Structure 1
């Protein structure tokens, strides 16, 4: 087994209560800790803490939105994480969604492909210590240079779902980060990205043998996420357009509960890993076998102790 990551913080667990678990992760076989941000913790603070609790784990954001921090602020934050982690930090950036960017942060969500591309190009120059004066398509920078250039190169990965962003990630970034895909979707995603560069995937794992409970949670999450236009287009491209059409129609009509109920079992089972701990671990490994370099477990709540489930899902367990 190669890389094996986990998303932190765990659901419902206070950030500071992760210290003991993080200190154990590398010995358990984990190689990576990845964070995210929607409306809970920010993407960076948990990683700054994890960097002090373990000196062996790679740390990455999956993802930090390119709209909600200015380009220079994003570069400074990335440089600081690289410093406090001793060069173990990977910056994952992406466009995020209109809800997070526009409705919650009051920033216009426009030209997401160009904004992500421009931010990537700025960050590559800034994190290399260059003085940046540039007119990008979506913003301009005048005379910015980091005062504390990272001693180690900071890899940058892009959140990517469809061909255009996947190709950009393969061509100009260090790789792509994707999510909400099944193990059998990986070959199509990998083909668009190309053989070069790292492919990381957040994989939603619900370790329970109560299939009805796992599917109920899965349907709620799928109806919430896959109705976002970018994810809807992603699954249209992956070939699930017809299977998800009834869900989209009910959602558009305002029937949220009905929309979730219309998601077929086979779609839920493809996108939500569930079953016994051993079955879940084997299913995650299938993503790696199909071309994911870094599978990143996103542990869904089952009522069981989250930290114990994280330990049980380790590759060496």
Structure 2
């Protein structure tokens, strides 16, 4: 099992201590570092800035939101960062949710799977330096209408690699299957070893599709994993509860919150409903407090070091191939030792 360092979302500004943690992650032999975006900082600029001070780690977006850029603009960024990093770039893509897509980017959200399929196909054409012509439901190149002067083009830049890895973020079974069918990896946000069989089936459904790109032997699953080493389990859980309260309670409307659904499938539907009710009602502190410790333990490694070592075994036996952690340098060192 490999390790990756996730720089996380920015809050009001850049995360403190991230450059030191990245340097330590590379020194420890981590496989990769990753940057995220929502509706604040973007994920490409920090990756280029921080990645310029590294030499060996792969540089991944987790995730670059489809609605933020046209497929060709995303492909241009991928080509550029792959050249600048010497072939270390990984393009992690995700559809996000309707509140961000329509509220922030002003783009339609319906049919995200079909839209993702078209998006990835166009990105691959650009990276392969093909002349891009595409007539899909969501994307047309050249554009049909307007001045009527558009013509098929191909990148002026020759790719360093004509097949840059593309990973898809997904939570529902159809989305996960799509990742296995058309991508090189799957990026789960909230993974629990208890749900391993569910995701294993979804991935197999994708691998079984005609023309699937990968198989179990060559497919990557880098999963985000909070790790909090603390002799007091409840105190450790308190570091993770705010994130779960936000995602379950506020990152999506009622009936359209995919993070809610992940935990409901794990048996927490009643708890999720309570968290969402409190959060959407403006009672954020109560919503966070309503996140049960066992829910935190399902998707995290928290508590004394011995407990973390024991629970790590279930992650090693799952479909996950890389643990993406966001922690200080000391915790990175500790985790490297116990994973080894």
Asked if Structure 1 and Structure 2 have the same fold, meaning a TM-score greater than 0.5 normalized by the shorter chain, the answer is yes
Residue equivalent to 1:294:
322
Residue equivalent to 1:233:
261
The root-mean-square deviation of aligned C-alpha atoms, in Å, is: 2.7
Q: Deviations over 1:45-81 (max 9, x none)?
A: 2322344322211121111000011211111001111
TM-fit CA distance, 1:174: 0.7
Mean Cα deviation higher: 168-177 or 195-204? 195-204
Q: 1:157 to 1:10 in 2, by over 3 A?
A: closer
Residue equivalent to 1:150:
159
Q: 1:310 to 1:253 in 2, by over 3 A?
A: same
Mean Cα deviation higher: 132-141 or 4-13? 4-13
Q: 1:224 to 1:24 in 2, by over 3 A?
A: closer
Q: Deviations over 1:150-178 (max 9, x none)?
A: 22220101001111111111111112110
Given the alignment, which residue of 294, 302, 305 partners 1:266?
294
**Mapped pair 1:93 → 2:115:** no
Residue equivalent to 2:124:
124
- 1:278, 1:313 within 8 Å by CA — same for their partners in 2? no
Query: Separation in 2 of the partners of 1:159 and 1:33?
Result: 16
3-state SS of paired residue (2:68): coil
How many correspondences in the alignment? 310
Residue equivalent to 2:74:
74
3-state SS of paired residue (1:189): helix
Residue equivalent to 1:44:
44
Residue equivalent to 1:170:
180
Given the alignment, which residue of 181, 185, 192 partners 1:182?
192
Q: Deviations over 1:203-231 (max 9, x none)?
A: 12223333333323322211210233111
The 5 Å alignment of 1:215-254 reads 215-227=237-249, 228=252, 229-254=257-282
Query: Separation in 1 of the partners of 2:272 and 2:7?
Result: 30
Residue equivalent to 1:3:
2
**What TM-score comes out, normalization by structure 2 length?**
0.81
Unaligned runs of 5+ in 2: 143-151, 205-214
Query: Separation in 2 of the partners of 1:281 and 1:121?
Result: 41
TM-fit CA distance, 1:37: 1.2
Query: Separation in 1 of the partners of 2:269 and 2:305?
Result: 31
Query: Separation in 2 of the partners of 1:26 and 1:281?
Result: 22
- 2:278, 2:286 within 8 Å by CA — same for their partners in 1? yes
- 2:9, 2:36 within 8 Å by CA — same for their partners in 1? no
Q: 1:30 to 1:277 in 2, by over 3 A?
A: farther
Residue equivalent to 2:210:
none
Q: 1:17 to 1:248 in 2, by over 3 A?
A: closer
TM-fit CA distance, 1:96: 1.4
Q: 1:127 to 1:261 in 2, by over 3 A?
A: same
Query: Separation in 2 of the partners of 1:253 and 1:282?
Result: 39
Query: Separation in 1 of the partners of 2:69 and 2:61?
Result: 14
3-state SS of paired residue (1:260): helix
- 1:162, 1:237 within 8 Å by CA — same for their partners in 2? no
Q: Deviations over 1:230-255 (max 9, x none)?
A: 11223333443234232233345443
Unaligned runs of 5+ in 1: 300-305
Residue equivalent to 2:146:
none
Q: 1:273 to 1:49 in 2, by over 3 A?
A: same
Q: Deviations over 1:175-199 (max 9, x none)?
A: 2110112232233212211253221
Query: Separation in 1 of the partners of 2:56 and 2:89?
Result: 11
**What TM-score comes out, normalization by structure 1 length?**
0.86
